[in-house]
A and B are shown apart, each in its own frame.
Chain A
């Protein structure tokens, strides 16, 4: 028995350690200047799925859409216990907004076919929209519970969860399959397991091997690189160390809903706010001191 879960994760620029070069002149994120990390909420989504599997049996499949480098978060998932990982990578998917992304993910989930639960992090720290999870549920036509914090009960096809409603919580019951967006307060994400790390650090997607070979064999004759890639892939496959790789054709995606054409979002305006102050300001514990502080906060738009 058991429950099969799909977890959607994303590799994001680490916006928690912003440096001077983090933003380009036009106000968009300079991804090159920021280290890429596992989107924090998604770690909790993965943990929630692993807990369901550890308790009830079943499987955890992780899906990520991104460039080849995003395989790193998939390896992280393997280190923590995921059973199967898939990278969705396609140049035609570049510049997808939340609508296009959720469409692509929904096609991938459909291809997986067998699933009881879909877990997403509440939101990604690069866009902070919290839209992809809910949109994905809509596209799949399944019910969703956002701001998941705790599994209260799961038996048969009925699930009961506690969700955070900001100033309290509510317990919601629904039928499987269901999509859940997970808060970072839902659990403590488990650490990577050392033995799995040593085993799966060698896991590679074919396109990663391709990129490595392109660097290592710049002057290869036509077909030579492909042959070498196939040769290296064989032992990886035999040991279960080949990361599955899908493109838009594999998931029967309609290209008009993908990438730039599938993305109606237009950025209206981006404001570049540079915090230059360092250290702290001493404020006298007097009426006058506090009044001065509030005045300063209003002037710099922190308040009001």
Chain B
């Protein structure tokens, strides 16, 4: 006869309530692990979806995600010419926050070369961008419909397609436009600003006495040309030909000065170590604290339920029960409570995780590790009860 189960059956209300409470706690622990994995997945999303081997960024920066990086778009031609490089494609990234439907609307805008790569990883509704201008593909999380329009910079953009779970390293959903459009949105000034700039340059040049009017005019045209140019990108990504040596290609590009060729491995390190390390430690700390709280609660519950059973335990000893019967009763209850609470917590998160504002990634390893930890906690927590139970004298069954 299993005394643990019999006791639980008799006191099921209390047992169920405690298990639910513990379950909620473990649910939070599970979700925190999931949030951490989600941070990880989010941080690496664009990096992974782009499927590039090398990220060429501005020298001395950890761009384009961790730091600002600006390089001229036409460097792509030089990169394509490097032996071992199969493709090179420019990308532009910017975070945009506008007002939409009366609420702040934040997303990560990716500009890509329609003939290159780095565009939306997969279209789940609508189609890819086909025209060079004013078309947009958005991540599902932006909750926009195909055909909707949004005003960015100086123009309206129409959503033509929806893509999956692409997010910025900060977790903002991503949207794609053509590179030219992205550059326009990022750099193009409106007419007033252009007129202002031109006047300012003209005034400055006019102030230089040594220039002839013809020289002034020539300079003014060139300078405004440069300041109005938008042919800047944040990175040029490259894919290597099969069998090409990554280090050799990196070596060559570094020799040019002004550029830093980052491998995927280096980018991953920048993104994970630098950007989400603190969040990881914080979540880890919370998880430990919550597990300690769970351990304290389980110990307390097991201890009080042992105290409630002193007379039962004394009676069992009096009629000659072996210690294993009594230890088994307490340990099994503790384990059962842990297992049920774990199940409740797991179900809770399993059923709700896709409704969390940030991505939750449930990894089998994390879930198994937590299960083992819960079992360990239950075993250790039951020791306080078991210790108490073993000290009970059979004579205590006689009183009252």
Q: Is B truly associated with A?
A: no
- Interface residues, chain B, with chain A CB atoms under 8 Å away: none
- Interface residues, chain A, with chain B CB atoms under 8 Å away: none
